[in-house]
Structure formats: structure tokens, C-alpha cells
Structure 1
Amino acid sequence: MQKSQLNGRLVKGSASTLAQLRSCLKPVMGNRTYIAQKQINLLQSAGNIIDVRILVQKDHSGIWDVTGMACRVGRPGSITSNISAGGSGQKLETTLREKFPDKEKQQEIIEKLRFVAVEACRTLEGSIGSSGEMGVDIGIDKGGQVWFIEANLRPARQVFTLIGEKKTRMLSVMRPMLYCRYLAGF
């Protein structure tokens, strides 16, 4: 069973062949090309999917670094966790404590999230050219494995405000200016 959003409405369908799947998805996809990935059993909160938005930026040193991490919880029935589509924010630490009581497991997941996010930025920058910030979305499955979902060149920062992380929000605005100073050479 395929579920998707089209003009704010849930579109459902099923297909047993690739041709049927294309036909079923045509109203949603149009003629755009997509990459399909294997379904991931993402963490959930009250039946709503959770992913992690990791804001990775450069500062006065010109080196990629994680500015902040926050969980995004999708709205009921949604296949995405986007805040702009009605999702909500949640502190990463809160989610990890709830889903993985073992502190060592929590720390292991945080380290993996940081590593994957920074490596994704380095790798993508090698292909697209110089960049100063990316919002990297990573899923965590029920076993604690992390899965790269996507990277955004114009990352939304409002999730940090929603979860009360004012310092992270301010740092997210300050770092691009520091990177500009680095590029200017002073």
C-alpha cells in the first residue's frame, strides 16, 4: 500500500508491478525523477514518524561542524516529518532517552548522527561545489541504526526555536556570518 500527499490530501494506492506503481504515483510525481529507497522502520511517537534534522555549518575556520540536532515528529497520517507540513519538534535527548534507555546506546547514536551528517556535507560539497551550511535529515530505526534521508542547501531552522533551543538558533544565524568573514580573509 502506497500513501502520499497531494495538495494536502492523502493519496492511497497499491501496485504489484513497476508499471502499475508508476501509474499510481503519476498524479503525485508528475514527470519528475525520484530515487526510491527501502522502507525504514523509523522511530515513532504516538504512531507518527520521527527523524532528526542536523544543521551542519561552517564558521570562521571554514570546517564543517554540527550546530544543532533536533527531532521532527510528523503530523498524524503523514509520510514526512516536515515542520512546514504540520510536524512538530522534540529535543533529541528526550527522544533518545525514551526510545533507548541505555546511556551508552544514546551516545553511540549521537556519535553516528554527527559522523553521518558531517560526512554527507563533505561528500556533497565535493560534487556540488563550495557550500556553507546544510540541513541533513537522518532517520533512526528501532534498532538504533541511522539512515541518511536527504540534505537541504537551504535548511529551515525553526525546529530549534520550537524546542526552546534559543542558543542553537542564534548560533545558526551567526555561523554563516563567521563563514563569510573566513571567505573574505579577515
Structure 2
Amino acid sequence: MSRYVGSKWRKTAAIRKSAPLAQYVPDTLKMTGASLLDRLNQYGMVYIKPDLGMYGNGVMRVERRGDVYSYQVGNKRRDFARYSDLYRSIKRRTGSRRYLVQKGIHLLKYGGRRFDLRVMVQWSPSRTWETTGIIGRVAAKNKIVTNYHSGGKIVAADALLRAHTDQPASKLQALSRLGAQAGAAMQQAFPGVYVIGLDVAMDKSMHPWILEVNTRPDPYIFKKHPDRKVFRKIMRYAKAYAKK
């Protein structure tokens, strides 16, 4: 059975320690009133997310536009004239739970809706890390998260990328290599990890950003992959490390 690691902070730190991977990790800090304000001033838009959480629950998009501060949860947005009022409202939602603040990546869109990519990476029977599948997730209308459990739609990755680049295949190959590197970094930090799912955003320059690392990724979204062999391979590999 593959080891589960819940803390987003610990997983982000593990990936960031790898020199080849650090350039793909957005600036991420533990959220305080000071760190949120500083990154808002620096980037204009950030995401805050619970350190422990799944399916996009609790994720908020926070923005500063001139003298107006705002945050969005689900499809509801609230505006504030002062930062102190914004932060007070956010803290009422987060309570005592640890949250992270992450540089906001402006996701590419498909049909007017934001999308990211799920990169499935597994420890193979030949004892190497291998990217076994990449699939796209398109957010529901006006939603800020792409998760399938939050109403997101599963779409073939090459179809999403083709709208933004004339080299979708090379981009997917690069993501496959990135996934294998991330798997090795995670296993080094957390022995017993045999599968990860990377949530990857592509920005307008087609630079990939690792938004999150999941150590219990849902394999069943790959049943919607256009190549049926992909899902069968994922499940075959999963059976192999389930015996460990």
C-alpha cells in the first residue's frame, strides 16, 4: 500500500528541495495576515488553501485591484475596501486551521472555463517512476477549482493544449518527465510513497506549475481517458504496489 502524506506544506517543501523541480513550484508560504498581504501586494492574485484538505474544499482566490480587495469561494465573491476587513472575513472561514498562501497562476481556459492537468505518476513493476497518464480537468462555470468532485469536467489533455500550442505532444512529453522527477523527489522525502498525482497549471507562456501533489490520487478519472489502455495500465501498476 502506498504511503499517504496529507500536509500540502510538507509535500510542497519536498518538491521544492529538488533543484530541477523548484522552478515549477509557485511561491508558497504558511498564511498569516502579514504573508497574505505581502503576496497580494507582490502578485495581485493568490490562492489560499487548507494545509489538510481534499477535492478543492476550502480553496479561495484572493485578489487586490487598486484599493479593492476580494476573495472568491465556489462561485461567490466578496469585495472589501480595506485589507483588515478582508482578512477578518477570511479568518472567520478558516478558523484555527493552517492555511497556505500560493502565488496565483492564471490558468489557461477552454471554452471560457479554467483548466489544469492531472499527471498520474506511479512506481512501476520495473522499479522506476513512470508517468502513466495525463488528463485535463475543466472547472465548472464560474468556479475557481477544477476538481471533478466540485463539478469539473474531464477532457483529453491534448485537446486542451491544442487550443494554446501547436506542439501539444512535446508539452505532454515534458510533463511526463516532470512527473517522473516529482515521483522520485517524493519517494526520497517520504519512503513508502509509490503513487502521486500532480495538479499542474499551464500559464500563457506554456510554463507548467505544480499546484499540488496528491499521494492518494483518484485513478478512476482515467476511465474517461480516450485511450483505454491508460486506465488498464494504471490499475495494473496499482495492484503491484498494493502488495507492498
Given that 1:109 and 1:145 are in contact with CA atoms closer than 8 Å, whether structure 2 keeps it comes out as: no
Offset, 1:80: 0.6
Instruction: Give the Cα–Cα distance (whole angstroms) in 1 for the partners of residues 92 and 151 of structure 2.
Output: 22
Partner amino acid, structure 2, of 1:68: G
- TM-score, normalised to structure 2, is 0.65
Between Structure 1 and Structure 2, how many residues are aligned? 175
Read off the aligned partner of 1:45 and give its amino acid letter.
Y
Deviation at residue 178 of structure 1 after TM alignment: 2.5
Whether 2:43 is the aligned partner of 1:43: answer no
For each residue in 1:31-76, what CA deviation from the matched residue of structure 2 results, as whole angstroms up to 9, or x when unmatched?
A: 2222211111111112211000011001212211001000100101
Deviation at 1:16, TM superposition (A): 4.4
Q: Distance in 2 between matches of 1:60 and 1:120?
A: 18
Superposition map of 1:105-116 within 5 A: 106-116=168-178
**Alignment partner, residue 73 of structure 2:** 4
* Match of residue 217 from structure 2: 155
Percent identical pairs in the alignment equals 25
Equivalent-residue separation in structure 2 for 1:22 and 1:115 (angstroms): 39
Matched, 1:67 2:140: no
Note the C-alpha offset of 1:116: 2.5
Q: CA deviation at 1:180?
A: 4.9
Following superposition, the deviation at residue 15 of structure 1 comes to 6.4
In 1, Cα distance between equivalents of 2:87 and 2:190: 29
Uncovered stretches (5+) of structure 1, i.e. residues with no partner: none
Which one of the candidate residues 117, 122, 138 is aligned to 2:200?
Answer: 138
Find the counterpart in structure 1 of residue 51 from structure 2. Answer: none
RMSD after superposition: 2.1
Equivalent pair of 1:3/1:13 in contact (CA under 8 Å): no
Gap runs ≥5 in structure 2: 1-69
Report the equivalent of 1:81.
146
Closer/same/farther in 2, CA of residues 58 and 4 from structure 1, 3 Å limit: same
Could you tell which deviates more after superposition, 165-174 or 65-74? 165-174
Alpha carbons of structure 1 residues 107 and 170: separation in structure 2 relative to 1, 3 Å: closer
